[in-house]
Structure formats: C-alpha cells, structure tokens
Amino acid sequence: MKILCIYGCGGTGREIADLSHRIGNGKRSFLSMIILPAEKLMKLMFIHLKKLLNSLRRTIWSLSLLLANPL
C-alpha cells in the first residue's frame, strides 16, 4: 500500500485522487490523501466562523424577543 499526498482539494485534486485509484486497480494500490491548502483552510474557517456568529446572533435576538415578550 502506498500513500499518495495530493496538495489541493479543488477539482484538479479530486480528479487526481480518482485517477490514482483507477491506476491502483492494476499493479499498485493507493491510498490517496488530499491536503487542504492553508488559504482554503482559512477561507473555510472564516465561513464557518461567520456562520457560527450568525447563528449565535439569531439565538440572542430570539432570546431577547422571548424575554421582552414572555408568553
């Protein structure tokens, strides 16, 4: 078993992972590992942080509404 590190998680990365597995059907067997580039990771983290903050803001807003107008 060989480990193949693929730097890049976009279309090209996934294409290469697929190709390496198809080659693996023959003589070599591959375990592909896609490495997430740093800038992509930052971007993802930022998006998720934004999502997290957004949901937190919504929760606080609904809570404040609930507290202001109790049932």
Partner 1 sequence: MEFIVAVGEPSIRKALYDKLASFKLNYIKIIDPAFILSRFSSVAKGTIIHTGVLATCNVHIGEGCLINTRAVIGHDVTIGDYSVVSPNVTIGGNVNIGPGCYLGSGAIIRNGINIGANSIIGMGAVVLKDVKPNSVMVGNPARFLRENIDKRVFR
Q: Which residues bind partner 1 (CB under 8 A)?
A: 2-8, 10-13, 15-16, 19-20, 22-23, 26, 34, 37
Six token digits for residue 34? 């896609």
The Cα 51–Cα 24 span in angstroms is 39
Taking the complex as a whole, the smallest distance from the CB of residue 43 to partner 1 amounts, in Å, to 15
Taking the complex as a whole, the smallest distance from the CB of residue 44 to partner 1 amounts, in Å, to 17
State the Cα angle at 9 between 1 and 23, rounded to 5°: 35
- The nearer residue to partner 1, 5 or 65, going by C-beta atoms, is 5
Six token digits for residue 37? 């580039």
